[in-house]
A and B are shown apart, each in its own frame.
Chain A
Amino acid sequence: MFLFVNLAAMANARSIISENLIVEYRVFNTIMDNRMRQISESARLLSMDYAFKQSIFSVDNKTLISIIENLRQRINADFITLVSLEYTVMADTIKPDLSGKQFMSRALIEKAEEQGELSSITIREGGYYQIEIIPILAPDPIAWLVIGFLINDTVLKDIKNLILAQISVFELDSGGRLKIVASTLPEGLKKLLFGKVKSANLSVEGNQSIILGQNEYISLISPLEKKGGSNLYVLLQRSMDDVLEPYYRLRTRLAIISLIGLLISFAVSMRISRSVTRPVSTLVDGVRQIEGGNYDLHIGVTQRDELGELSNAFNNMARGLKERDLVSDLLGKVVSPVIAKELLSKKVELGGEEKEVTILFSDVRNFTALSEKYPPTIILNMLNKYLTVMSAIIESHGGVIDKYIGDAIMALFGAPISHPNDVDRALNAALDMNEALEKLNVDFQETGIPPIDIGIGINTDIVVAGNMGSAHRLNYTVIGDGVNLASRLEDLTKKYKKKIILSDSTYKKIKDSYKIEQIAEEYVKGKSKSTIIYALIGRVGKE
Chain B
Amino acid sequence: MTTFATYVITLLCLLLPTMGYCYDLVSEVKDGEGALVENAVITATPLSGEIKKPEKNLTAEIDQIDKTFVDFVTPIMVGTTLVFPNSDKIRHQVYSFSEAKKFEIPLYPPGQGRATPVTFDKPGVVVLGCNIHDWMKAYVYVVETPFFAKTGKNGKATIKDIPPGQYKIEVWHPYIKKSSATVKQPVNIGKESDMKVDFVIDVKKALTVRRAPGSIGGGVYP
**Which of B102, B104, B208 lies in contact with A137, CB distance below 8 A?**
B208
Contact of B131 among A50, A115, A116 (CB under 8 A): A50
With both chains docked as a complex, state the minimum distance between the C-beta of B122 and any C-beta of chain A, in angstroms. Answer: 16
Binary contact track A97-134/B, C-beta < 8 Å → 1, others 0: 00000000000000001011100000000000000001
CB-defined contacts of B95 to chain A, threshold 8 Å: 50, 54, 138
Is residue A48 within 8 Å, beta carbon to beta carbon, of the partner chain? yes
**A141 with B129: CB separation less than 8 A:** no
Bound together, the chains give a CA A116 to CA B206 distance in angstroms of 9
Could you tell me the distance between the alpha carbons of A388 and B137 in the complex, rounded to whole angstroms?
154
Say if the beta carbon of A44 comes within 8 Å of chain B: yes
Interface size range of chain B in the complex: 20 to 34
Do residues B220 and A138 form an inter-chain contact, with CB atoms below 8 A? no
Binary interface encoding of chain A residues 493-521 relative to chain B, with 1 for a CB under 8 A from any of its CBs, else 0:
00000000000000000000000000000
Q: Per a CB cutoff under 8 Å, which of A53, A113, A117 touches B97?
A: A53
Instruction: Give residues of chain A (54-105) contacting chain B, Cβ–Cβ below 8 Å.
Output: 54, 56-57
From known contacts A50-B131, A135-B207, A139-B208, infer whether A117 and B220 are also in contact, taking CB-CB under 8 Å: yes
B127 and A116 contacting across the interface, CB-CB below 8 Å: no
Interface flags, B98-142, vs A, CB<8A=1, else 0: 000010100000000000000000000001110100111100000
- List the A side residues contacting B205 at CB < 8 Å: 116
B221 at the interface (CB under 8 A from A): yes
From residue A39, how far is it (CB to closest CB) to chain B in Å?
Answer: 14
Note all chain A residues with C-beta closer than 8 A to B128: 139
Q: Is the CB of B131 within 8 A of A140?
A: no
State whether A137 touches B97 (Cβ < 8 A): no
Indicate which residue in B97, B219, B222 contacts A138 across the interface (CB closer than 8 Å).
B97
The one of B97, B131, B206 in contact with A57, judged by C-beta atoms closer than 8 angstroms, is B97
Query: A139: which of B104, B209, B219, B222 is its contact (CB, 8 Å)?
Result: B209
- Which residues does chain A contribute within 8 Å of B174, judged by CB atoms? 140
Contacts of A142 in B (CB 8 A): 97
B109: shortest Cβ distance to chain A, in Å?
Answer: 19
For residue B62, give the distance in angstroms from its CB to the closest CB of chain A: 14
Q: Which residue of B lies closest to A48 (CB)?
A: B134
Q: Report which of A50, A53, A113, A135 forms a contact with B220, defined as CB distance below 8 A.
A: A135
Residue pair A139, B220 in contact (C-beta under 8 Å): no
Chain A contacts of B104 at CB under 8 A?
A: 54
Which residues of A are found within 8 Å of B131, using beta-carbon distances? 50
A141 touching B207 in the complex, CB below 8 Å, given contacts A57-B97, A116-B222, A117-B222: yes
With a CB–CB cut-off of 8 A, which chain A residues contact B209? 137, 139
Are B222 and A140 in touch, CB under 8 angstroms? no
Residues 273 to 289 of chain A near chain B (Cβ within 8 Å): none
Among residues of B, the one whose C-beta sits closest to the C-beta of A43 is B220
Closest to B129 in A: A139
**Which residue of chain A is the closest to B139 with respect to CB atoms?**
A140
Partner of A44, one of B102, B135, B220: B220
User: Shortest beta-carbon distance, B212 to chain A, in Å?
Assistant: 14
Interface residues of B in 182-222 (CB under 8 A from A): 205-209, 219-222
**Closest-CB distance, B213 to chain A (whole angstroms):** 19
Cβ of B129 to closest chain A Cβ, rounded Å: 4
**Most chain B CB within a 10 A radius of its CB, from A44, A53, A117, A138:** A138
Nearest CB on A from B130, distance (A): 8
Residues of B within 8 A of A44 (CB): 219-220
**Given A117-B220, A117-B222, A134-B220; A140-B207 close (CB under 8 Å):** yes
- Once the chains are docked, how many angstroms separate the CA of A213 from the CA of B174? 63
Q: Which 6 A-B pairs have the closest CB atoms?
A: A116-B222, A139-B129, A50-B131, A139-B137, A140-B127, A138-B97
New A-B contacts (11) at CB < 8 Å, excluding given A117-B222, A139-B137, A140-B207: A48-B134, A54-B104, A116-B222, A117-B220, A137-B134, A137-B208, A138-B127, A139-B128, A140-B137, A140-B174, A141-B207
A residues neighboring B (CB under 8 Å): 44, 48, 50, 53-54, 56-57, 113, 115-117, 134-135, 137-142
User: Interface on B for A, CB 8 Å cutoff?
Assistant: 95, 97, 102, 104, 127-129, 131, 134-137, 174, 205-209, 219-222
Give 27 pairs: A residue, B residue, CB < 8 Å, sorted on A. Answer: A48-B134, A50-B95, A50-B131, A54-B97, A56-B97, A57-B97, A113-B207, A116-B222, A134-B220, A135-B207, A137-B129, A137-B207, A137-B208, A137-B220, A138-B95, A138-B97, A138-B127, A139-B129, A139-B135, A139-B137, A139-B208, A139-B209, A140-B127, A140-B137, A140-B206, A141-B207, A142-B97
